[in-house]
Every structure is written in structure tokens, then in C-alpha cells.
Amino acid sequence: MFQLRQLKIFVAAMETLSFTKAAKQVHLSQPSVTEQIRALEESVGQALFIRQNNRLQPTPAAERLAIRARELLARADDAFREVRDNVDDSGGTIRVAAPQTLCTSVLVPQLLRFAGMHPGTQVAVQEKNSMATAQAVLDGTADLGLVHGWPASDAKLRAQAIARDMPVVVMPPGHPLSEAVDIKADALAAFPLVVTMDGCRYREYLEAVLQEAPVQPRIRGVADSVPALIQMVSAGLGVSILPRMAMDPAATTACVRWRPLSTAGAGLPICLLTLHRTPTRQVAAFIEMIRLAATGSDQPMAAIDMKHGAGGVAIADQEADGIGDIAAGADPAHR
């Protein structure tokens, strides 16, 4: 019968495809890792890896075992945390993953408040793109994640829309639209655009908003991150569209201006990602604080039903008020 220690070593080998790298990850010697993998293979009665050009090639049996191994390790982690939390409700660490934009606008401003209410609990913030955030939750290296838009569908992942982030037009100071109270998308047809890279959630959001107008975008510059986009807009290269919470007031007030964009849609959902399990009391308290910070309301959002529209864009209908949330159907990386 295999042991949890062997499963941890096996998962490390699956992630690194190297016994040497796996040994570093689990803090063992390479011969010890090899011995534990051999013992695991004897337990399951099948080879798990094939050496190929100095690289490990997982067998079909390894691929199947990896799914169960991650589940068992996650359950073991849950059990340990539950016992620990019942002993000391104020201790432990909450691991939160999110893109840089949501770390800055939603998570970080709440850390001091949470620390005051739960002084024995640490919060470890992991800055990751959307895809990596979802993967961190699935892998169990993050207790929860926060992303703009809907993640790729995964039966193990629970995605809850906790708020809707409205679009704004970002422009340099002195721009003709800088004094406008409310800007319609068709007004942007007269100006060149700065956008994020293909595959970025914010790029897809911009294109979906302009498609509503409809406006044919005139792209003058492409940035690989939001800070780079802000700098390009500040330099006068063009204007852009971002969700409001992607804007860092401290970093952008002096160099760009932003104004609300009038759109028929109801904004880009901010989604909370967790696994389908009961959170610890500390994690539940932190989730509630983040939800209130994101919504400014003590009422949860209504349930959202997903469907796919044209161009690979998913439209979520909120039946309570007939509002549609625009989000990408897949979960590309963004910064």
C-alpha cells in the first residue's frame, strides 16, 4: 500500500518530469526519490515513468494515478487544516492567488483590516495570471483565487461571480474625451487604440465591448501587461478600455485619465475560485471580506447561467434583472 509521502514525491515527479528536480522540490536526495517511485510502482503493479532523452515520460497509468494522487493529497491537507483550525481558530495561513491588477485593487487594501480582525492568521498573496491562478487553486497551492472573467470549465473548480467590474476608457491628460461624463463606444472609432496581447482577458473584453457598438478597432500599440499599457497611453500612443478595478489609482492618477464607458453589457465579472469543499473559518471570513470589498454590498450576487455567443465570447444572463455579463469563454493568461 502506498503512503502519502510517496504520492507527494510522485506528484513532484509528474510536475517536473525529472527525478533530480523532484528531489529538490520535496527536499530529498535523488536516489531516495528514485527508490520511492520504484516502491510505488511495485505497489500499483505498473511502470509509471519511462526515461526518454534524459526526461521522464509518464505512462498512461501515471496519468490516471496523478489525478487520484492530487485528490488524496488535497483531502489530507483539508483534514490537517480542519484539526488545526479546531484547536486554534486564529492561526494558520491563507494562500490567495490573483493577477497583479486585482492584487492591487481588491486584495492588498483589505490585508490590514483582516490582520486587525484575525491577528493570528497570515495571508500569503501570490501574484499570478488568470490561468495560473486557477491552476494554483486546483493544485492546492492556493486556498482561493480571484480573477477577471470566467475560468475554463473544470469539474473540480468552483467559480462564483462576486462582483461586476465596469469598463472605463483610459486616455492621456488633455485628451478630447478627458472631460466627458460618459463615453459611448462609437466615440472611440476616431482614435487609435492601445491593447494588451492576443489571448489576454482584457484584450478579449475590449474587443467584445467594441463589437457591441459596433466599432472597428484601429490598433496602434500592443502591450504585454497593464502597467506597460498605461505607460503607452500616457505617452499619447492611443486610448484603451480596461475594467475599472484594473486601474491602480496610485500609479495612474498622474499619468493618465479615465472616464466611464457607456455599454449595454453589465461589466466583466470578478470571479472567486475555490475547490468544492467547505472552507476553514479563516478562509470563509477572508472570502466574505473580499466579497464585500469588491461589491460594496452586503448582498450576494444572483446565480449566473453561462451560454456562448458569437466569436467565442460567453454571455452570462442574470435573470433577476435581465443584465448580461460579458466574459471570455476560455481562460487565457493576462497580467
Residues 6+ apart with CB under 8 A from 328: 149, 150, 201, 204, 205, 312, 313, 314
19 phi/psi in degrees, rounded to 5 = -65, -35
Q: What is the DSSP letter of 235?
A: T
**Rounded CA separation 272/141 (Å):** 15
According to CATH, the topology of domain 88-164+267-328 is: D-Maltodextrin-Binding Protein; domain 2 (3.40.190)
The model carries a pTM of: 0.59
Flag whether pLDDT at 143 surpasses 70: yes
Q: What is the model's pLDDT at position 305?
A: 32
Residues of the chain with CATH 3.40.190.10: 88-164+267-328, 167-262
Flag whether pLDDT at 323 surpasses 80: no
**Rounded CA separation 132/184 (Å):** 34
235 phi/psi in degrees, rounded to 5 = -75, -5
The grid coordinates listed for 159 are 467559480
Q: What is the dihedral of CA 7, 11, 14, 15, to 10 degrees?
A: -170
CATH code assigned to 167-262: 3.40.190.10
Q: Which of 22, 175, 7, 166 is nearest to 76 (CA)?
A: 7
Residues of the chain with CATH 1.10.10.10: 4-85
Q: What is the model's pLDDT at position 156?
A: 86
How many Cβ atoms from other residues are within 10 Å of residue 331's Cβ? 24
State the average pLDDT over residues 293-312. 42
Architecture of the domain whose range is 4-85:
Orthogonal Bundle (1.10)
Flag whether pLDDT at 186 surpasses 80: yes
